[in-house]
């Protein structure tokens, strides 16, 4: 297996809902393993996600998990997830789904460098950047 770079998102108890939402957005295969699946069946967080991974047919990989008790994460802290490419229809579809129920900080429109670009934060507090390359 080749090395890969992908985001790993941390959640405060809603990783299952978030990862299922991203599966709706991108499609693909989602695997979710709870703390209970890994031997903590009696723990208060047994139904929370210890590790989740979404692999799409388009080659995207997104991982995420709920933080263990006592470790809190502030939504949207110091990262963004970037989607880029030249398939305008596909990327606009992702944009529409990601921004639905969230907030848009930069509308998806042509920018000074020639590409179509936008920034939004989805309903789970995750910041996204979408860049659609211009045709040469």
Backbone angles phi, psi at 26, to 5 degrees: -100, -15
Does pLDDT of 3 surpass 70? no
Burial degree of 25 (CB within 10 A; 0-12, 13-18, 19+)? buried
Task: Please say whether the beta carbons of 81 and 121 come within 8 A.
Answer: no
Q: Is the pTM of this model over 0.85?
A: no
The string of pLDDT tens digits covering residues 8-38 is 898 989 999 999 999 999 999 999 999 888 7
Three-state secondary structure call for residue 88: helix
Three-state secondary structure call for residue 11: strand
| Gap between the Cα atoms of 74 and 27, Å rounded | 27
Three-state secondary structure call for residue 97: helix
């Amino acid at each position: 297996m080749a090395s890969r770079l992908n985001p790993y998102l941390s959640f405060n108890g809603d990783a299952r809902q978030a990862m299922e939402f991203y599966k709706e957005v991108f499609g693909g295969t989602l695997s979710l393993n709870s703390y209970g699946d890994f031997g903590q069946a009696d723990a208060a967080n047994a139904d929370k996600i210890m590790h989740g991974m979404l692999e799409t047919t388009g080659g995207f990989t997104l991982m995420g998990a709920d933080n263990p008790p006592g470790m809190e994460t502030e939504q949207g802290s110091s990262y963004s997830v970037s989607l880029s490419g030249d398939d305008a229809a596909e990327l606009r579809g992702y944009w529409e789904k990601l921004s639905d129920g969230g907030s848009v900080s930069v509308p998806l429109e042509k920018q000074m460098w020639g590409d179509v670009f936008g920034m939004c934060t989805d309903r789970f507090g995750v910041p996204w950047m979408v860049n659609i390359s211009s045709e040469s």
